[in-house]
């Protein structure tokens, strides 16, 4: 039975990836910081889908947490979803530097190291996939969050190119606004976001898995966000940055 390891697996997109993997017959390795919530999520998936669900409590903002997940990946998985992440309410000049560095460790260092830990087994078997969850924010510069997510896209494309032809796929997933706990945890007021921009996690994961099967290196779910990204690529970077900062302040 194939094995899927998913970080940030107890809520939002990560929880939906776990549900989808279980429904598709994967055994699960679920990673998150909250051990109690992790155990509850695993038990619910075992009961509903009859799959094996291993739990691995780990904080990917720490060396110990990353190392623990690296060790598990070294024993082999068939699908890795690097989903763990968070946002900061404050702008770059207002947020504590320690929080900015924690974000870089979770969004960049952990993604790099866990992808690196997973790929040798996959390449050796000639199959497997890595999905690195980025964001539409990667294409619209604003602060460390956007910068870190842009790095995820660039890194994933480079890794995809390196393993091309091996039977292994690497893809960056770039959703827009998704109805999850993400913004609430960050203390962000999103009441002004138009309803048509909101997606649900199930649709995001469905489109991600379709794009992965098609061999795409970058997945932007829904036509509306594909159009937004396409328009953004034609506008001057300085203009995009100014607009992004102003919208963020509001």
Q: Digits of tens for pLDDT over the chain (250 positions)?
A: 899 999 999 999 999 999 999 999 999 999 999 999 999 999 999 999 999 999 999 999 999 999 999 999 999 999 999 999 988 877 777 789 999 999 999 999 999 999 999 999 999 999 999 999 999 999 987 789 999 999 999 999 999 999 999 999 999 999 988 866 554 564 555 555 667 677 899 999 999 999 999 999 999 999 998 998 887 776 555 545 554 555 444 4
Res 169: pLDDT = 98
What domain range includes position 129? 3-249
First to last CA, the chain: 48
Question: Which of 200, 201, 222 lies closest to 211 in space, CA to CA?
Answer: 222
Q: Return all residues near 200 (Cβ < 8 A) that are at least 6 apart.
A: 178, 179
Beta bridge partners of 57: 32
Q: Looking at residue 85, what is its pLDDT? A: 93
pLDDT at 239: 47
Catalytic option among 49, 121, 145, 225 = 145
Angle at 153 between CA 60 and CA 88, to 5 degrees: 50
The residues pairing with 28 across neighbouring beta strands, listed in sequence order, are 4, 53
Are 130 and 80 within 8 A, CB to CB?
Answer: yes
Q: For the chain, what is the domain count?
A: 1
Count of Cβ atoms closer than 10 Å to residue 35 Cβ: 12
The DSSP line for 9-36 is: TTSHHHHHHHHHHHHTT-EEEEEES-HH
Residue 40 CA to residue 55 CA, distance in Å, equals: 10
145 classed as catalytic:
yes
Q: What is the CATH number of the domain that holds 118?
A: 3.40.50.720
């Amino acid at each position: 039975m194939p094995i899927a390891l998913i970080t940030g697996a107890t809520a939002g997109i990560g929880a939906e990836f776990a549900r989808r993997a279980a429904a598709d017959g994967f055994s699960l390795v679920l990673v998150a910081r909250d051990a109690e919530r992790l155990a509850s999520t695993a038990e619910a998936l075992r009961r509903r889908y009859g799959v094996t669900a291993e739990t691995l409590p780990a904080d990917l903002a720490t060396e110990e947490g990353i190392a623990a997940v690296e060790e598990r990946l070294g024993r082999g998985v068939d699908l890795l979803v690097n989903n763990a992440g968070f946002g900061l309410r404050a702008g770059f000049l207002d947020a504590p530097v320690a929080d900015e560095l924690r974000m870089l460790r979770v969004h960049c260092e952990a993604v790099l190291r866990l992808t690196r830990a997973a790929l040798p087994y996959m390449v050796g078997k000639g199959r497997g996939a890595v999905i690195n969850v980025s964001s539409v924010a990667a294409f619209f510069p604003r602060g460390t969050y956007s910068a870190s997510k842009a790095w995820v896209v660039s890194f994933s494309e480079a890794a995809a190119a390196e393993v091309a032809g091996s039977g292994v796929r690497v893809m960056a997933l770039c959703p827009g606004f998704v109805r999850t706990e993400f913004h609430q945890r960050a203390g962000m007021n999103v009441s002004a976001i138009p309803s048509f921009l909101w997606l649900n996690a199930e649709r995001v994961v469905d489109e991600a898995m379709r794009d992965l099967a098609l061999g795409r290196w970058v997945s932007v779910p829904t036509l509306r966000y594909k159009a937004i990204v396409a328009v953004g690529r034609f506008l001057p970077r300085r203009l995009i940055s100014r607009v992004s900062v102003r919208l963020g302040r509001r």
